[in-house]
């Protein structure tokens, strides 16, 4: 299927009706294969993160601040990946990446606010680990259920008003005739590249917002881990040090992958942007991290594995009893 361009002339510029996401159309022979791969990935993300979210809610042994935030993070990953992957799957199936001007703005808005929420929740998780390791005696007092709920609520709601102005400014800018983006979803850098004229204000606005929602949380996490590692190294027992490190390693892996790829994409000046590289770096924080989340937090966490085993065993037994009763009736 060939994507058609539907734009309207407006003076020296073009009034865009839609954009065309090139996505992975540069490898047309692999469209079917990529559709199958991304479909499997999407199903795995939904099932894996749903299981983690469920067991953190139903298993009493996981009713602690750390697993409360892991459950929030897993639910967030489901929302986050659902902003981009279903659209990518539809484009691969149709072999066409047309997306309307409004749909592009809406997708970008929810992608950005959920990305910001991920930054905030990762920061809250780092704070939880900091208190647990550096102040273990008063940990239950500080990280009480009320504070956990307040932190989670702040993480989920703070990002909503942040991007209203930036997206309004971006999408009210004059666009050149070119409406093709070498990307698989509506992200800030490829849209800015389509803007005609001076984009200095747009780039500065992007950097300021990124500094607020990416750099500050990243620095807070960095400071937390400097203090955490310093405290762990002072522990007299090698077993204690290993146990303390193991409670932080999963979170640290996710932080490195998410912030590393995000900083490369959003803090690179427009003049040095390679849209092809941006597209592949974006795969890390939009798709691969939600894939790694259930793997990292299950395979590297004995408590989660035990809870998952009990949860699956319970449902298998329940399913067996239900099928046996239905066969007797």
pLDDT tier at 279, thresholds 50, 70, 90: confident
Rounded Cα–Cα distance for residues 252 and 226 (Å): 12
pLDDT tier at 270, thresholds 50, 70, 90: low
Mean pLDDT for 7-19 is 59
pLDDT tier at 16, thresholds 50, 70, 90: low
pTM score: 0.86
270 close to 192: Cβ distance less than 8 angstroms: yes
pLDDT tier at 12, thresholds 50, 70, 90: very low
Predicted pLDDT of residue 10: 46
For 113, left (φ over 0), alpha (ψ -120 to 50), or beta? alpha
Predicted pLDDT of residue 165: 85
Q: Is 310 exposed, middle or buried (0-12, 13-18, 19+ CB in 10 A)?
A: middle
Q: What integer best gives the mean pLDDT of the chain?
A: 84
Predicted pLDDT of residue 312: 77
Residue 89 Cα distances to 2, 157, 287, angstroms: 17, 29, 12
Predicted pLDDT of residue 204: 86
Predicted pLDDT of residue 269: 58
Q: List the domains of the chain with CATH numbers.
A: 12-319 (1.20.1070.10)
């Amino acid at each position: 299927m060939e994507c058609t361009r539907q734009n309207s002339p407006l003076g020296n510029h073009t009034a865009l009706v839609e954009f065309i996401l090139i996505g992975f159309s540069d490898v047309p022979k692999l469209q079917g294969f990529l559709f199958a791969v991304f479909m499997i990935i999407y199903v795995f993300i939904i099932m894996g993160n749903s299981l983690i979210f469920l067991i953190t809610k139903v298993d009493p042994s996981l009713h602690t601040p750390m697993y409360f935030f892991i459950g929030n993070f897993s639910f967030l990953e489901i929302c986050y990946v659902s902003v981009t992957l279903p659209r990518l799957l539809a484009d691969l199936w149709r072999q066409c990446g047309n997306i309307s001007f409004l749909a592009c703005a809406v997708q970008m808005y929810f992608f950005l606010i959920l990305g910001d929420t991920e930054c905030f929740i990762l920061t809250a998780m780092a704070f939880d680990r900091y208190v647990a390791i550096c102040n273990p005696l008063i940990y239950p007092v500080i990280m009480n259920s009320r504070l956990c709920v307040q932190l989670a609520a702040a993480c989920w709601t703070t990002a909503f008003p942040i991007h209203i102005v930036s997206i309004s400014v971006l999408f009210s800018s004059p666009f050149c005739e070119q409406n093709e983006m070498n990307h698989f979803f509506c992200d800030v850098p490829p849209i800015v590249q389509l803007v005609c004229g001076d984009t200095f204000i747009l780039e500065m606005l992007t950097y300021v917002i990124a500094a607020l929602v990416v750099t500050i949380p990243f620095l807070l996490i960095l400071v937390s881990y400097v203090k955490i590692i310093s405290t762990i190294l002072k522990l007299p027992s090698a077993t204690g040090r290993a146990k303390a490190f193991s409670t932080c390693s999963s979170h640290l892996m996710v932080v490195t992958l998410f912030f590393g790829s995000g900083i490369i994409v959003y803090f690179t000046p427009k003049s040095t942007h390679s849209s092809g590289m941006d597209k592949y770096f974006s795969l890390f924080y939009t798709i691969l991290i939600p894939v790694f989340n259930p793997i990292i937090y299950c395979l590297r966490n004995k408590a989660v594995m035990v809870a998952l085993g009990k949860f699956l065993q319970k449902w298998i037994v329940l399913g067996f009893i239900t099928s046996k009763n239905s066969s007797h009736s």
